[in-house]
């Protein structure tokens, strides 16, 4: 069984005319193409990688991609890979316009695709502009009998962001002749072709790489991780940094880049291959693409600059908040040592979390021991009052979307959930809440626990 990986590439508006595509953006430790290639190799094992552009590219694009990463070929349709694959082979389609900030769950996707015997899609919920949706029910006379609200991300869930699709060669063949513009469109095509598939929901933070802010956040985050951090650049690039230039924080300098005297680089910053920071220029939290020249005395901050023309347009707009005067940048960061504050804040939060967890555990144990006699009497009362278990486990969603059971003393009859639907008309509250002033499902002991003692949730 072989693995084939198809990376969807595009050219968003912010990269400029004739500039690099998304996969060619430097993101720390190499380009975005190199990042996705390594992620696929680590998660799927040895695989053949292809690039499929979904927007018009300039002349020489295919040569640039193949030159940047040997063994990777540019294709013009899904059919080019499907014809090389056997029905049992695995094809992964990754949309470069949406990128997770952590590793992709390839094992979970593989299990889901095998279970579905077709395809699996890695998706995230998308709340959209509608925060809630309201439905009403009325009788024959038009009088409203019930109102329900579905809240975005809670009871109204849309899986509209699709990061990648993992499918068999047989499933891919059914979509090979359809246009492929995004992972989301591929999901719809496979569904229309009646391919059995499953969605794998992720709560991992992600960014929109086709937006400048998202691409910058992705690159800076990678540069701040230990495995990709390169302070003052690689050894073979140090000779290109003038002794009178100042580098603060994590800075990655690719081969052929030059930093002249009097320049100030305030990390996280990536200087692409062949880029040139002229005398007196200041660069702060930015990505400077291959071959880009930062003019002398200018300042670039909070930007992804992949073409000289973009930089010229930015310099012309002095009122734009994304560019700052070089002098003010130097004064603001003059006293900040490299990497100051980042590691200190992270460690202090870790210590606080550890101490907090320990204190809470001690308090909980002491409280359980002191209240144990009361809990025993409560359990006996519940058991004598009505048939059924003493405790009731209610499903809750915790940190990171992880589900857990919240255990409480049972205050209702065992089949309370089944009876709830018949009582909807008496519910005075709209939305997902359900609360009756006098709920017939509550037991006699339950009323005492809720009103007098309030220990049902202890």
Preceding amide of 438 cis, omega within 30: no
Token digits of residue 60: 């020489």
Asked if pLDDT for residue 400 goes beyond 70, the answer is no
**pLDDT band at 129; cut points 50, 70, 90:** low
* Of 341 and 281, more confident: 281
pLDDT band at 291 (very low <50, low <70, confident <90, very high): confident
Closest by alpha carbon to 92, among 213, 186, 15?
186
Q: How far apart are CA 228 and CA 31, in angstroms?
A: 12
CATH architecture of 3-125+160-208: Alpha-Beta Complex (3.90)
Beta bridge partners of 266: 248, 284
- Domain parsing of the chain, residue ranges: 3-125+160-208, 229-333, 372-453
User: With 60 as the cut, is the pLDDT of residue 15 above it?
Assistant: yes
Say whether pLDDT at 356 is over 80: yes
Cα–Cα distance for residue pair 253/234, rounded to 1 Å: 6
pLDDT above 70 as % of the chain: 80
**Does the structure show a pLDDT above 50 at 39?**
yes
What are phi and psi for residue 125, nearest 5 degrees?
-70, 145
Of 115-129, 145-159, 332-346, the range with the lowest mean pLDDT is 332-346
Please, is 293 exposed, middle or buried when counting C-beta atoms within 10 Å of its C-beta (0-12, 13-18, 19+)? middle
- Please identify which residue in the block is written with the tokens 């255990």: 407
- The packing angle between helices 61-68 and 32-44, to 10°, is 50
* Maximum average pLDDT range among 28-42, 182-196, 320-334, 420-434: 182-196
Residues 6+ apart with CB under 8 A from 149: 132, 133, 134, 135, 430, 431, 432
Q: How much is the pLDDT for 199?
A: 92
Determine if the pTM surpasses 0.85.
Answer: no
- Backbone region of residue 421 per phi and psi (left: phi > 0; alpha: psi in -120 to 50; beta: other values): alpha
pLDDT digit string, tens, across residues 152-184: 666 666 667 899 999 999 999 999 989 899 999
């Amino acid at each position: 069984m072989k693995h084939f990986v198809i990376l969807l590439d595009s050219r968003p508006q912010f990269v400029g005319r004739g500039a690099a595509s998304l996969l060619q953006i430097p993101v720390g430790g190499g380009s975005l193409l190199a990042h996705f290639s390594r992620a696929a190799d680590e998660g799927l094992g040895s695989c053949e990688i292809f690039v499929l552009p979904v927007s018009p590219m300039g002349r020489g694009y295919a040569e640039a991609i193949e030159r940047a990463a040997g063994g990777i070929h540019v294709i013009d349709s899904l059919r080019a890979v499907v014809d090389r694959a056997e029905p049992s082979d695995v094809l992964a389609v990754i949309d470069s316009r949406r990128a997770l900030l952590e590793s992709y769950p390839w094992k979970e996707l593989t299990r889901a695709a095998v279970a579905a015997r077709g395809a699996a899609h890695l998706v995230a919920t998308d709340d959209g502009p509608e925060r809630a949706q309201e439905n009403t029910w009325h009788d024959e006379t038009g009088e409203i009998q019930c109102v329900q609200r579905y809240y975005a991300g809670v009871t109204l869930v849309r899986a509209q962001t699709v990061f990648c699709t993992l499918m068999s060669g047989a499933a891919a063949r059914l979509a090979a002749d359809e246009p492929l513009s995004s992972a989301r469109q591929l999901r719809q095509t496979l569904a229309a072709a009646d391919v059995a598939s499953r969605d794998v929901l992720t709560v991992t933070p992600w960014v929109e790489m086709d937006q400048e802010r998202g691409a910058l956040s992705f690159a800076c985050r990678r540069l701040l991780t230990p495995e990709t951090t390169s302070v003052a650049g690689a050894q073979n690039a140090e000779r290109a940094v003038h002794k009178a230039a100042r580098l603060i924080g994590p800075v990655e300098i690719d081969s052929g880049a030059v930093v002249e005297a009097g320049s100030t680089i305030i990390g996280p910053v990536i200087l692409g291959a062949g880029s040139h920071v002229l005398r007196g220029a200041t660069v702060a939290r930015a990505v400077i693409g291959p071959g880009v020249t930062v003019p002398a005395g200018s300042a670039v901050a909070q930007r992804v600059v992949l073409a000289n023309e973009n930089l010229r347009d930015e310099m012309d707009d002095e009122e734009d908040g994304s560019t700052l005067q070089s002098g003010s940048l130097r004064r603001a960061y003059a006293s900040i040592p490299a990497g100051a504050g980042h590691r200190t804040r992270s460690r202090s939060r870790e210590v606080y979390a550890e101490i907090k967890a320990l204190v809470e555990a001690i308090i909980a144990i002491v409280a359980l021991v002191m209240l144990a006699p009361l809990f025993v009497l409560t359990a006996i009362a519940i058991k004598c009052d009505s048939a059924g278990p003493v405790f009731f486990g209610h499903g809750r969603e915790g940190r990171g979307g992880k589900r857990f059971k919240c255990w409480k003393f049972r205050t209702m009859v065992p089949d309370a959930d089944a009876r709830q639907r018949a009582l909807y008309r008496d519910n005075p509250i709209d939305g997902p809440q359900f609360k009756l002033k006098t709920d017939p499902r509550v037991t006699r002991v339950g009323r005492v626990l809720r009103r007098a003692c309030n220990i049902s949730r202890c």
